[in-house]
Amino acid sequence: MKVLVAGANGHTGRLLVQNLDAAGYEAYAMVRKEEQKQEMEKLGGIPVLADLEGDVGHAVKGMDAVIFAAGSGSKTPPEKTKDVDRDGAINLIKATEKFGAKKFIMLSAMKADNPEQGPEKLEYYLKMKGEADAFLRNTELDYTIVRPGALTNEPGTSKIKVAETLDRGSVSRSDVAKTMIACLEEQNTYRKTFEMLEGDTQIEEALKSL
């Protein structure tokens, strides 16, 4: 299976590329800069140059699945958050629809449907995430929207907790990446949105419970 990772140079994106390669997928790492290509190759990815704010059709063409793992970052000005987290995601979704890949996995965030319930400093970011998620839900794609709590760089345990809504908490980026990859072929996650935190249930078993 050929899988495109948008935001491959980010913390979670790098873990996605590594874990996809280790699991036997063809990981295509979408990056914006020529100098990032070598690092993606070291991680086991096949680099693809494309910008979420521009034409991404060539990046999506021929893929079996697309993973959106890009993020504007907490220190990004509002206009860039809108450009990446909402408009960039929608741009990639439209290209995915146009060029035939059926599976789209979105890295979102807890409380994206209710941004006023999240941390005040993240309200606009969550609003943009929620609008991108809403656009994805209205497509014919086999989407999965994964909404983790606060991301940590702790080693993963491969044990999580999932539900439509959860209380606040944290989860490792490693386990988020593994969960998103498991969603590629776990049909019980298709056309579903769920929140996730660290927990006591193996990833595969947790996804079957949704």
Question: Domain containing 71 — which CATH number?
Answer: 3.40.50.720
In the prediction, which pLDDT does 86 show?
95
Which residue range forms the structural domain that includes residue 118?
A: 2-208
Q: Name which of 100, 38, 33, 109 is nearest 68 in CA terms.
A: 109
One pLDDT digit (tens) per residue for the chain, 210 residues: 999 999 999 999 999 999 999 999 999 999 999 999 999 999 999 999 999 999 999 999 999 999 999 987 656 778 889 999 999 999 999 999 999 799 999 999 999 999 888 888 889 999 999 999 999 999 999 999 999 999 999 999 999 999 999 998 999 999 999 999 999 999 999 999 999 999 999 999 999 999
* pTM exceeding 0.85: yes
In the prediction, which pLDDT does 62 show?
96
Choose the catalytic residue: 28, 125, 143, 190.
125
Is 143 designated active site? no
Number of independent structural domains in the chain: 1
In the prediction, which pLDDT does 75 show?
65
| CA distances from residue 100 to 109, 131, 161, 184, 208 in whole angstroms, order as listed | 26, 23, 32, 16, 27
